[in-house]
A and B are shown apart, each in its own frame.
Chain A
Amino acid sequence: MTWGQWLLVSILLSSFLPGIIIFALPEEKHHLRTILNLCGSTLKIALILIMDTWIYLGHSFEIRMVIIPGVELLLNGDPLSALFATLSSVLWLLTTVYAVGYLEESPNRSHFFGYFSLCVTVTIGIALAGNLVTFLLFYEMLTLTTYPLVIHRGTEKSLRAGRNYLIYAFSGGAVFLFAVVWLQAVVGPTDFSGAGFSPSFVDTHSTVLVLIFILLIIGVGVKAALVPLHGWLPQAMVAPAPVSALLHAVAVVKAGAFGIIRIVLDVYGAQNLLLLGVLPLLAGVATITILYGSVRALQQDGLKRRLAFSTISQVSYIALGMSLVDQPLALIGGLVHLVHQGLMKITLFFCAGNLAETLGIHRISEMSGVARRMPLTMAAFSIGAFGMIGIPPTVGFVSKWYLGLGGLAAGNWWVVLVLAVSSLLNACYFLPILTKAWFGKQQGPWPEELYVGRFETRLMLLVPPLVTAFIVMAAGVVANAQISPLAWVRFIVREYGL
């Protein structure tokens, strides 16, 4: 094995091994567990940064393992996987810190953190997957590793949510498997090569390929919560806040969105998709999802539920960007939103978790005046919310800007219209929260004040949202710099030759 292959393996192992060890650790050794977790995640970030550098310098590495003809496991480091891997690993570190703070004194932590680490391993696996089979492998394992986290609370409600999650996710997985096998039967092995299969298949198998594309999108669309397939996401909100953050920002929804990106860019390729003429379909679904999610979010009083519907809406920006794959600008917008949405949404969930954990606030109607009690948390929340609305200089604006430009470049006015309407709707459901929290008056005591101390809440709960909020701001302000997500996405788009 070359050192590059070792790098890939050690990236996976850096969270897998801690996860396994954590399972074996007794419940009460929480210090050791925390140290293990933090070391693992820091090491992972370091390794991934090394990988990023080398990818940037033009190296590539892959591990290939043929199981049977047609079923090959392929790990591959390319710029796109570096993007997702970096995002996941950085957010994992923060989420770990947050989860340690969040679950202080609660039972079953070793179990939780074990699955937590496995979940991230699998997510990185999705990022590094080099063909559809490997992607499928990790995609299914993601469902498995997140399920215990979703039902961590163990209540009837969480079990029901978990059941729904499983049904949705595995149905999606089954459809995906079906489509993958079918695709391989038609066009042969599907490595993520950057160009897609040969255009000659389009002439001969166009109907079948369209059908397979739809099936593939359904398969990943379940996790990406595209509209008719989104039902599990709001229910999964019963999980603890770090899990919600993980589901929405780092792992599950992102994995779905990443799958859409892979399918569009690497499996089919822009040219083939244009020839097949299926992109309007994707665009339509994305549009409906964006608007539907926003409207439903407006209806919610539960804070986390509102955030969940907001995720449904926001993740479809990525799909929207992919549906304009022939426009480099839209592509940039869609790809960079993968990172941006993650940052913003994780901030919001951290803050929602802080409110719940510190003051027992779960509903928006209880939030009146909460910013006076928890100013830093709410400041972070506000930045996240502004990002969601797309107000400069947050990162949300950057995504929308590129998406809009791409839409115009493609001559699609409706894209701009969708963005505008969605921004307005986002404002409708976020700004009232902010005004209520900042300028409302506290009405009676907090539902359940759990923490009274020097800071507004536990330090480990406070720092992660502040960091992510800072990144949301900073990544927008320095969007044009050499090392911003935007710069990396531009690099990706260059690599794809667009």
Chain B
Amino acid sequence: MTSPGLQSMFHALLLSLVAGTPLLMAAFCCTPLKKAVARLLPWAAVPALLTATTAPIDVVVEVPWFFMGGRMGLDETGRIFLCLSAFIWFLASFSARSLLKNDQGQTHFFVFFLTAMAGNFGLILARGMLGYYLFFAVMSFAAYGLVIHKGTDEAAKAGRLYLTLVMIGEVALFTALLTLMHSTGSLALEDMAGVSYHPLTLALLFIGFGVKIGALPVHGWMAPAYQAAPIPAAAVLAGAMINAGILGWLRFLPLGQTSSPQGGMLFVAAGALAAVYGVVIGLKKKQAGAVLACSSISQMGLITVIFGLGLLDHEAGLQAAPVLILYVVHHSLAKSSLFFGYDLVERQGRTLSRLQMAALLLPALSLAGLPFTSGAIAKTAFKGLAGTLGGPWHGLSAFFLPITAMGTSLLMFHFMYVLRHSRSVGHSGRTESRIIFAISFIAAAITLWLWPAARISASHSLAGMKFLQALWPVAGGCLLFLVWRRISSRTTVFSDEQKKQGGFDTILRTVTRFLQEKEKQNLKQDGLVTSLRKLVPPLRRSEKIMGRWKVVGLSYLALCLCLLFLLL
């Protein structure tokens, strides 16, 4: 075999292992080997980590027989996403292993966990439309198992909502892919460049991937699901899987290669709305997971805004892409570290120490863009982007961003407050949890500073004015929080939010029940047979009459006459 052949085989093997390892391990869960799988759980993400760091860029391996033409490969964006996701999955699997050590449904959970992991890794490597869609679907549906794991009513409800929205997303995506395939005639993601998008396709893509990131009309699942899922699962939902949506946009609407001003406006508008809306609903939540989910909605709104800006024209796209990635990395690390912190609280079974509080506050406020944190770097990059676009967008950076930052910090204080007041029974694996939190904290704190691509923004963020600009929203948020606490302690803000949840779900159920009632009415005996039965007596009578001699004679004569007449 020639050496290029050998090399490509090696690449194929390496890339296959990324998604293949967790998938195989999931399969092994169904065999007596499940104990071993449980022990080896964290290692499922290792091939992904290794590949992300060692595999060459821009090698595309064709697997023609696989699912209508499979292509996989790693590009620069993919490498970042893979690295990020693998890291978070790695931490989360440690956490999950220790959390579920004595859980009844451990195997169940691990199957879904590993499958979702495989889906997440697979979609990053996919270089074909259908491959992406396939792994996206695998991940989405497997995540349902994570959401519902606890088996409580709340979890079931959250799961239902999640599933409904996932299904809507899937269908929207399917439709969007069809139209894309129709217009490009190719399944390769590279061929998406330069396609002019039908507005409907854009909307469908927005919905399809938007479900994953909690974009505005389809955000409903996030808060209940994050809350209902076991915390390691929530961590990967918020830290890793959420990025699949962003990556989807990047893949299908490659920034810098496509542009759609209308679409851009749609994204910006929806994102901006979500950024504010997330904060507003977040303040009503009284559970830490839910609050973090709302923060995700808000933060993802900002990312959507960045993406929308990138869609406006090619030039902006080229600039927006790195900013977007920067922001994604920042958000994922910070958010996952928050979840691990939440996990620590839950496991300790008591409130955090001051040190821990402080440590937790750092990623929290980093989301709000506190100076010296990764948030500040990301925000600076964002502002830089808005600045270069000029015109009305400049106002965005001056006015809108600080407002959202203030909102975020308000929300984060709320989160800290909720966390302090939450009660928990305590779980095993305290030590592991501490270590994991520490690692994630460190990662969140320093990654962007070390990352070459972020260096310019990092240095910018330290400049004096910027420093101040970043600081005042945090301070403002702090103040606002104090005021808001004062108000909300008097009025009961935590009202009937539970009832409102899953309105969609109840509609669906009502419709189904209504239909089933109607069906029961339909299931009556068919009337046709009974009405036919009524014909029997007259039939019998007429047959009898025809047998009478007189009638016979008459018909005989009639027949004779008729034939005579007709023949003559």
Binding site for B on A (CB under 8 A): 295-296, 298-301, 375, 386, 389-393, 398, 400-401, 404-405, 408-409, 416, 419-420, 423-424, 427-428, 431, 435, 438-439, 441, 476-482, 486
Chain A residues whose CB sits within 8 angstroms of the CB of B565 once the complex forms: none
19 chain-A/chain-B pairs, Cβ below 8 angstroms: A295-B515, A298-B512, A299-B518, A300-B516, A392-B130, A398-B68, A401-B130, A401-B178, A404-B178, A409-B182, A424-B167, A427-B167, A427-B171, A431-B163, A435-B156, A435-B160, A439-B159, A478-B65, A480-B70
Query: Is B170 a contact of A391 with CB atoms below 8 Å?
Result: yes
- Given A391-B141, A427-B167; A416-B67 close (CB under 8 Å): no
Query: Is B178 a contact of A476 with CB atoms below 8 Å?
Result: no
Measured in the bound complex, the distance between the Cα atoms of B130 and A420 in whole Å is 17
Chain B residues whose CB sits within 8 angstroms of the CB of A435 once the complex forms: 144, 148, 156, 159-160, 163
Measured in the bound complex, the distance between the Cα atoms of B69 and A423 in whole Å is 23
Report the minimum CB–CB distance from A400 to chain B (whole Å).
Answer: 7
Chain B residues whose CB sits within 8 angstroms of the CB of A478 once the complex forms: 65-67
Chain B residues whose CB sits within 8 angstroms of the CB of A479 once the complex forms: 67-68
- Given A405-B178, A416-B175, A416-B178; A480-B65 close (CB under 8 Å): yes
The 10 A-B pairs with the shortest beta carbon distances in the complex, nearest first, are A299-B519, A481-B65, A408-B182, A392-B134, A404-B178, A299-B515, A427-B167, A420-B171, A480-B68, A439-B148
Query: Is B168 a contact of A424 with CB atoms below 8 Å?
Result: yes
Question: B179 contacts the other chain (Cβ, under 8 Å)?
Answer: yes
Chain B residues whose CB sits within 8 angstroms of the CB of A420 once the complex forms: 171-172, 174-175
Chain B residues whose CB sits within 8 angstroms of the CB of A431 once the complex forms: 163, 167
Measured in the bound complex, the distance between the Cα atoms of B168 and A424 in whole Å is 7
Query: Is A392 a contact of B171 with CB atoms below 8 Å?
Result: no
Binding site for A on B (CB under 8 A): 30, 64-70, 130, 133-134, 137-138, 141, 144-145, 148, 151, 156, 159-160, 163, 167-168, 170-172, 174-175, 178-179, 181-182, 508, 512, 515-516, 518-519
Measured in the bound complex, the distance between the Cα atoms of B174 and A482 in whole Å is 25
Query: Is B175 a contact of A404 with CB atoms below 8 Å?
Result: yes
Measured in the bound complex, the distance between the Cα atoms of B148 and A301 in whole Å is 24
Query: Is A477 a contact of B66 with CB atoms below 8 Å?
Result: yes
Query: Is A392 a contact of B181 with CB atoms below 8 Å?
Result: no
Report the minimum CB–CB distance from A322 to chain B (whole Å).
Answer: 19
Report the minimum CB–CB distance from B157 to chain A (whole Å).
Answer: 11
Query: Is A401 a contact of B68 with CB atoms below 8 Å?
Result: yes
Query: Is A299 a contact of B67 with CB atoms below 8 Å?
Result: no
Measured in the bound complex, the distance between the Cα atoms of B509 and A301 in whole Å is 14
Chain B residues whose CB sits within 8 angstroms of the CB of A427 once the complex forms: 167, 171
Chain A residues whose CB sits within 8 angstroms of the CB of B179 once the complex forms: 408, 416
Chain B residues whose CB sits within 8 angstroms of the CB of A375 once the complex forms: 30
Measured in the bound complex, the distance between the Cα atoms of B68 and A480 in whole Å is 5
Main secondary structure of the interface of A (DSSP, over half): helix
Query: Is A393 a contact of B67 with CB atoms below 8 Å?
Result: yes
Report the minimum CB–CB distance from B186 to chain A (whole Å).
Answer: 12
Which partner residue on chain A sits nearest B511 by CB separation?
Answer: A298
Pick from B138, B171, B175, B516 the residue with the most CB of A within 10 Å. B171
Which partner residue on chain B sits nearest A386 by CB separation?
Answer: B141
Chain B residues whose CB sits within 8 angstroms of the CB of A423 once the complex forms: 167, 170-171, 174
Chain A residues whose CB sits within 8 angstroms of the CB of B508 once the complex forms: 428
Query: Is B174 a contact of A441 with CB atoms below 8 Å?
Result: no
Measured in the bound complex, the distance between the Cα atoms of B240 and A264 in whole Å is 50
Pick from B67, B69, B134, B179 the residue with the most CB of A within 10 Å. B67
Report the minimum CB–CB distance from B524 to chain A (whole Å).
Answer: 13
Chain B residues whose CB sits within 8 angstroms of the CB of A486 once the complex forms: 68
Chain B residues whose CB sits within 8 angstroms of the CB of A390 once the complex forms: 174
Report the minimum CB–CB distance from A151 to chain B (whole Å).
Answer: 17
Among B134, B144, B148, B519, which residue has its beta carbon within 8 angstroms of that of A300?
Answer: B519
Report the minimum CB–CB distance from B12 to chain A (whole Å).
Answer: 16
Among A301, A391, A480, which residue has its beta carbon within 8 angstroms of that of B66?
Answer: A480
Chain A residues whose CB sits within 8 angstroms of the CB of B137 once the complex forms: 391-392
Chain B residues whose CB sits within 8 angstroms of the CB of A439 once the complex forms: 145, 148, 151, 156, 159
Query: Is A405 a contact of B519 with CB atoms below 8 Å?
Result: no
Which partner residue on chain B sits nearest A417 by CB separation?
Answer: B175
Pick from A299, A390, A404, A478 the residue with the most CB of B within 10 Å. A299
Chain B residues whose CB sits within 8 angstroms of the CB of A296 once the complex forms: 519
Chain A residues whose CB sits within 8 angstroms of the CB of B30 once the complex forms: 375
Measured in the bound complex, the distance between the Cα atoms of B516 and A300 in whole Å is 6
Pick from A393, A477, A478 the residue with the most CB of B within 10 Å. A393
Query: Is B134 a contact of A393 with CB atoms below 8 Å?
Result: yes
Pick from B65, B67, B68, B133 the residue with the most CB of A within 10 Å. B68
Query: Is A405 a contact of B182 with CB atoms below 8 Å?
Result: yes
Report the minimum CB–CB distance from B120 to chain A (whole Å).
Answer: 15
Chain A residues whose CB sits within 8 angstroms of the CB of B175 once the complex forms: 404, 416, 419-420
Which partner residue on chain B sits nearest A436 by CB separation?
Answer: B156
Measured in the bound complex, the distance between the Cα atoms of B164 and A423 in whole Å is 12
Measured in the bound complex, the distance between the Cα atoms of B66 and A405 in whole Å is 19
Report the minimum CB–CB distance from A287 to chain B (whole Å).
Answer: 16
Chain B residues whose CB sits within 8 angstroms of the CB of A401 once the complex forms: 68, 130, 174, 178
Chain B residues whose CB sits within 8 angstroms of the CB of A424 once the complex forms: 167-168, 171
Chain A residues whose CB sits within 8 angstroms of the CB of B130 once the complex forms: 392, 401
Chain A residues whose CB sits within 8 angstroms of the CB of B178 once the complex forms: 401, 404-405, 408, 416
Report the minimum CB–CB distance from A121 to chain B (whole Å).
Answer: 33
Chain B residues whose CB sits within 8 angstroms of the CB of A428 once the complex forms: 508, 512
Which partner residue on chain B sits nearest A301 by CB separation?
Answer: B516
Measured in the bound complex, the distance between the Cα atoms of B30 and A72 in whole Å is 56
Chain A residues whose CB sits within 8 angstroms of the CB of B69 once the complex forms: 480
Pick from B66, B168, B174 the residue with the most CB of A within 10 Å. B174
Measured in the bound complex, the distance between the Cα atoms of B346 and A416 in whole Å is 47
Report the minimum CB–CB distance from A393 to chain B (whole Å).
Answer: 5
Which partner residue on chain A sits nearest B177 by CB separation?
Answer: A401
Measured in the bound complex, the distance between the Cα atoms of B68 and A416 in whole Å is 19
Report the minimum CB–CB distance from A170 to chain B (whole Å).
Answer: 16
Chain A residues whose CB sits within 8 angstroms of the CB of B516 once the complex forms: 298-301
Chain A residues whose CB sits within 8 angstroms of the CB of B181 once the complex forms: 405
Chain A residues whose CB sits within 8 angstroms of the CB of B167 once the complex forms: 389, 423-424, 427, 431
Chain B residues whose CB sits within 8 angstroms of the CB of A295 once the complex forms: 515
Chain B residues whose CB sits within 8 angstroms of the CB of A393 once the complex forms: 67, 134
Which partner residue on chain A sits nearest B509 by CB separation?
Answer: A432
Report the minimum CB–CB distance from B139 to chain A (whole Å).
Answer: 12
Which partner residue on chain A sits nearest B182 by CB separation?
Answer: A408
Which partner residue on chain A sits nearest B516 by CB separation?
Answer: A299
Report the minimum CB–CB distance from A427 to chain B (whole Å).
Answer: 4
Report the minimum CB–CB distance from A389 to chain B (whole Å).
Answer: 8
